[in-house]
Structure 1
Amino acid sequence: MSERGVTHPLTTPPTAPTKIVLPDLVSHCTFTKRVSRHRKQVTTETKRWLFEGGNLTGKKRDAFHGLKAGLLTAMCYPDAGCSQLRVCNDFLTYLFHLDNLSDDMDNRGTRATADVVLNSLYHPNAYRSPARVGKMTRDYYKRMITTASPGAQQRFIETFDFFFQSVTQQAIDRAAGVIPDLESYIALRRDTSGCKPCWALIEYANNLDIPDEVMEHPIIQSLGEAANDLVTWSNDIFSYNVEQSKGDTHNMIPVVMHEEGLDLQAAVDFVGTMCKQSIDRFVDDRANLPSWGPEIDRDVATYVDGLADWIVGSLHWSFESERYFGKAGRDVKATRVVDLLPRRV
């Protein structure tokens, strides 16, 4: 039979979202934000160090000005002396440089970079590589080991090794178009974040020499993990827009959408709730620190304060830097609304 005269409703495909609303993590974090008085000096010195030999030009150089790594360092290590803050800032700036490089690398490229970096750390006086990344590694690490405790040095190198192992796995996943399950992603992301060597720098920056058995205590480990999770997961929320425009799926939001069957905004809210829970976990752990005697307790309190500085500092810096929201960071901080970028072809 003919169906003329029968009107069928038109079904329009669902339109892709054009914006997301960020969770209010800044209000949930009640830690005091502090900024080192050495910020301007180390920012100038690190940029001179990074740009030496004209290795970064044009847009790449502009991006490092907009990164404002010096502000992040100054908020995360506010009590460090000037020379120690400079080492921390050199490392963080270089870590962003490595992160940008690894985004464009296959697993062979990350392994080659890892070989140069780790040999430069394990043998800073004997190993020689003409690669710029090797020279930079030896330069900041030689300055670090003049005052860093043996434990801090060991933790720095071991966790940086984990970083390279995890970014190599990330490169393999990216090449295969794999979206990992949430549990696997969280375990991998705790290393790809690069936070763990930054925690060793808290010891270095504050002249701490905390015994290994104290650093390995479950509550100290849990505090470091909670801080890592907050810094990392909130970064996934803040960087999602830029990453989705490039088709990058190594981010907790697409992982959650895939695993939980959520739409984009619901996944953002889901990850936001996890971020708030990580702050709450940190507060609870901090209130339940055991005692190891007055001297060690003082050093532990300084270390844990350093983790808190990282939590609050990274949250505020994310809106000051141009890395995630361009020039609109302060507006985004106020409104929490992000207009999504078109997908690049």
Structure 2
Amino acid sequence: MSASLSTPRSSTSVTAPKKIVLPDLVSHCTFDLGINRHRKQITTETKKWLFKGDNLVGKKRDAYHGLKCGLLTSMCYPTAGCPQLRVCNDFLTYLFHLDNLSDDMDNRGTRTTADVVLNSLYHPHARHAPARVGKMTRDYYKRMVLTASPGAQQRFIETFDFFFQSVTQQAIDRASGAIPDLESYIALRRDTSGCKPCWALIEYANNLDIPDDVMDHPIIRSLGEAANDLVTWSNDIFSYNVEQSKGDTHNMIPVVMHHEGVDLQSAVDFVGNMCKQSIDRFVEDRSHLPSWGAEIDRQVAIYVGGLADWIVGSLHWSFESERYFGKSGRQVKASRVVELLPRRA
């Protein structure tokens, strides 16, 4: 990594830090922010879809409303038609609530959930779907395949499979208390983020049919990776406070602190610099796109624009959602100061 760590501060301090200062990622990202005009409609429809036959009450229902997933979807797919935007919003909402949706399964382990979900994707028209998560998977995927290109369908399933493999490893690490080294963490986090299936949804949402060899080009892959890194690493910064209060160490900040021997603010600054470098890398790669002919170039430009929408949309949404900063998101966005929560018992 080219980001430089500051000199480790003394670890003999008696008092733990009470706040952190976030990096200014919003100002570093100069991409245009858009919001899809179908936001209100798909938000209402997805809410009915998610709550159908469910017992999402109390804190779970409040968490859904505070999440503001419809806003995230509308920022990340700003030009999608209403049916496509609805599928994207159903998927993102379902992804955030996957734990809740698998409550009715005999085994809540990630492997069991993965089996149900992937079986539903490979056999969307099969009748047997005992678990609610399987029924919901079939429901949104049957709508997706109506217009998604074969390549987008394949990439969606393959990358969702990678997601489940990586969250299984994450669960193993969490249970053992193991903290991976930075390179191993980055490799795993690129799949646990769930971004890769969302990149396939960029193709679907914009009715693209880009050949496999173009999608496999090193520049296209690098652009997707840079966008994934920005979304994922910035999320680790924004979610750190809530996660540290739970004792969760599967986050880049404690990984950097543990393996590099730096204090909390130095680790936040380091990860923030990595985020800025990922934006810079995206801009640089975008300026070196090769040409595949007029029609393919047109579709590639839309796809790459969709990655940029995800970068800028996820940054702004993180302060609008209540998931990371409660109802203080806009205040935190302005001041960049986060008061640390106490560790839960």
The aligned counterpart of 2:210 is: 210
**Measured at CA, do residues 262 and 135 of structure 1 come closer, stay the same or move farther in structure 2, by a change above 3 Å?**
same
Q: Is 1:336 matched with 2:322? A: no
TM-fit CA distance, 1:108: 6.8
Query: Normalising by the residue count of structure 2, what TM-score does the alignment of the two structures yield?
Result: 0.94
- SS of the residue corresponding to residue 54 of structure 1 reads coil
Alignment partners' CA distance in 2, 1:187 and 1:95: 20
Q: How does 1:262-281 map to 2 (within 5 A)?
A: 262-281=262-281
- Tell me how many residue pairs correspond in the alignment: 331
Alignment partners' CA distance in 2, 1:64 and 1:117: 21
**Measured at CA, do residues 229 and 99 of structure 1 come closer, stay the same or move farther in structure 2, by a change above 3 Å?**
farther
Alignment partners' CA distance in 2, 1:147 and 1:65: 30
The aligned counterpart of 1:78 is: 78
Structure 2: state its 5+ residue gaps. 1-11
**Measured at CA, do residues 177 and 186 of structure 1 come closer, stay the same or move farther in structure 2, by a change above 3 Å?**
same
The aligned counterpart of 1:249 is: 249
Alignment partners' CA distance in 2, 1:300 and 1:31: 17
Paired residues of 1:160 and 1:194 also in contact (CA < 8 A)? yes
Deviations 1:25-57 (A, max 9, x none): 000000000000000000000001000113311
Paired residues of 1:233 and 1:271 also in contact (CA < 8 A)? yes
- SS of the residue corresponding to residue 87 of structure 1 reads helix
Query: Normalising by the residue count of structure 1, what TM-score does the alignment of the two structures yield?
Result: 0.94
Q: How does 1:232-247 map to 2 (within 5 A)?
A: 232-247=232-247
Deviations 1:220-260 (A, max 9, x none): 00000000000000000000000000000000000000111
Paired residues of 1:120 and 1:127 also in contact (CA < 8 A)? no
The aligned counterpart of 2:4 is: none
Alignment partners' CA distance in 1, 2:117 and 2:245: 30
Identity of aligned residues (%): 86
Q: Is 1:221 matched with 2:225? A: no
Paired residues of 1:319 and 1:325 also in contact (CA < 8 A)? yes
Structure 1: state its 5+ residue gaps. 1-11
- SS of the residue corresponding to residue 56 of structure 2 reads coil
Provide runs of 4+ in structure 1 moved above 3 Å: 99-102
TM-fit CA distance, 1:14: 1.7
The aligned counterpart of 1:310 is: 310
Alignment partners' CA distance in 2, 1:126 and 1:90: 20
Deviations 1:146-192 (A, max 9, x none): 00000000000000000000000000000000000000000000000
- Code of the residue aligned with 1:311 in structure 2: it is I
**Measured at CA, do residues 213 and 328 of structure 1 come closer, stay the same or move farther in structure 2, by a change above 3 Å?**
same
The aligned counterpart of 1:122 is: 122
Q: Is 1:179 matched with 2:179? A: yes
Paired residues of 1:174 and 1:249 also in contact (CA < 8 A)? yes
Alignment partners' CA distance in 2, 1:100 and 1:231: 23
Q: How does 1:1-345 map to 2 (within 5 A)?
A: 14-98=14-98, 109-126=109-126, 128-345=128-345
- Code of the residue aligned with 2:290 in structure 1: it is P
TM-fit CA distance, 1:101: 7.3
TM-fit CA distance, 1:13: 5.2
Alignment partners' CA distance in 1, 2:301 and 2:100: 34
**Measured at CA, do residues 101 and 278 of structure 1 come closer, stay the same or move farther in structure 2, by a change above 3 Å?**
farther
**Measured at CA, do residues 53 and 219 of structure 1 come closer, stay the same or move farther in structure 2, by a change above 3 Å?**
same
Alignment partners' CA distance in 2, 1:54 and 1:98: 13
TM-fit CA distance, 1:85: 0.2
Paired residues of 2:231 and 2:311 also in contact (CA < 8 A)? yes
- Code of the residue aligned with 1:196 in structure 2: it is K
Alignment partners' CA distance in 2, 1:58 and 1:276: 38
Alignment partners' CA distance in 1, 2:15 and 2:298: 56
- The RMSD of aligned alpha carbons is 1.4
TM-fit CA distance, 1:130: 1.2
Of structures 1 and 2, the larger Rg is shown by 1
The aligned counterpart of 1:4 is: none
The aligned counterpart of 1:9 is: none
Alignment partners' CA distance in 2, 1:308 and 1:74: 14
Paired residues of 2:101 and 2:132 also in contact (CA < 8 A)? no
